[in-house]
Amino acid sequence: MSDFVLIDSEGAWHKHAPKFLTAKKIALDLEGDFMLHRYGYRICLLQVGFPDGAIYLLDTLTGFDLSIFKEVLENQAIEKVLWGASNDVRYLKFLLGCRPRGMIDLWEAARLVIGPRVSLALVIQQVLGHQIQKDPELQVSDWNQRPLSEDQKKYAAQDVRYLLAVWDRWKPLLESGTLAAPFHKRMQILEGLEISQKEAWTRVKGWMTLSPAQQVHLKRLVEKRDQAAKGQDLAPWRIEKNENLLEYARNGVDWSP
């Protein structure tokens, strides 16, 4: 029997949404595809955990109205506890069109409480005495696919299972005493993060080593690759890798996909 609830329809969402609106705190994570498998950026799944142990997986690809969930995200009074939240905040803003508030990043908390070299597994082991196993292949699996595999759903649920328990232990340390001010400052910075608006060709590692003419050529190559990727609904790197485009630009190669 599953220990999580999959919400994949408007009816199921409206049945459970009141619990989200009345929560004092939730654990939160997301899975998505951000130019890894298909073209574009999309949140494929939202994972939400509650203090009573309930875990909900929101299948955002089914298209039900997320306006209530946006209210939850923007409600400062509801604590949202995440691990490594910087990209999550960026994508929630960019893709859901909201400004999350009340965000608590346990990764930042762990760096203050434990030290700079931390992982979620380490924190859960040290704080709660539980051991978790994370399959790196599932992290980069195709979250667009439907139905999701049982392994994907279990992986997603595990990501939020212990976050609230850790926060309950650490909250007194991070809301008073010497750690309170630096932690609060880091959470302010977190909530202000935005998706980078840099042109795609300037995200190619090494572009600054090119001459101005070579940079113009690189820009053309990246634009050609992007058009091909969009037409085939593939992540651009699956058409041609950045390092290859850099060398084509450096050597004046007129590449075509």
Q: Where are the domains of the chain?
A: 5-191, 200-251
Q: Rounded to 5 degrees, what angle do the CA atoms 175, 177, 179 make?
A: 70
pLDDT at 53 over 90: yes
Strand partners of residue 43: 32
Indicate whether 1 pLDDT > 50. Answer: no
In contact, 138 and 198? CB cutoff 8 Å: no
Instruction: Tell whether the model's pLDDT for residue 255 goes beyond 80.
Output: yes
Looking at residue 71, its pLDDT comes to 98
- Mean pLDDT score of the chain, rounded to an integer? 96
pLDDT in tens, 184-209: 999 999 999 999 889 999 999 999 99
Reduced to 3 states (helix: H, G, I; strand: E, B; else coil), residue 211 is coil
Question: Average of pLDDT values for 159-184?
Answer: 96
pLDDT at 177: 85
Tell me how long the chain is: 257
- Tens digit of pLDDT for each residue in 81-129? 999 999 999 999 999 999 999 999 999 999 999 999 999 999 999 999 9
3-state secondary structure of 250: helix
Strand order in the sheet with 25-34: 5-7, 55-58, 41-49, 25-34, 79-82, 103-105
Architecture of domain 5-191: 2-Layer Sandwich (3.30)
Burial of 254 by CB count in 10 Å (0-12 exposed, 13-18 middle, 19+ buried)? Answer: exposed
Q: pTM for the complete prediction?
A: 0.93
Angle at which helices 180-191 and 86-96 pack, to 10 degrees? 30
CB 218 within 8 A of CB 212: no
Tens of pLDDT, residue by residue over 210-243, are 999 999 999 999 999 999 999 999 999 999 999 9
Q: Once rounded to an integer, what is the mean pLDDT over residues 29-37?
A: 98
> What stretch of H or E contains 48?
strand 41-49
